[in-house]
Structure 1
Amino acid sequence: MIMKKLAKGLLTAAAVALSAIGTQALEIGQSAPLFSANSTQGPIHLGDLLGEKHLVLAFYYADFTPV
């Protein structure tokens, strides 16, 4: 039982670590790539929000809250 939990934990950690390979953060002043995301009020497109005052993107990884 303990070995199964340990193996599952190690596989999960490896998957998370490998999923970040090839990604990079934006530099200050660099434009965010255009994307779409689903929300509780329907799809949101970044291009539709550009030019409307200020825009803050916040991403909570593994928050475990229903959306």
Structure 2
Amino acid sequence: KDIFYTFLCPAPVDLSRFATCSLRFMDAYQRGLNGAQAAWAAKKYRGHCTIPDTILQELEQANVC
């Protein structure tokens, strides 16, 4: 019974948030953004799983280097 609860215990919320944030940064880097742009995009879209395809236009409008 103890082993059952050990394996079915959900991951801590902090770990889940870290994983989601990391996925957003990886998505930004795959799209060719630099570190500052990736940080801006991750902050702006923190409630989303991925960054939208229109990110390059939004970066130009926001004047992010």
- Common topology (TM > 0.5): no
TM-score by length of 2: 0.29
For the pair shown, the structure with the greater C-alpha radius of gyration is 1
Greater helix percent: which structure? 2
TM-score computed with the length of structure 1 as normaliser: 0.29
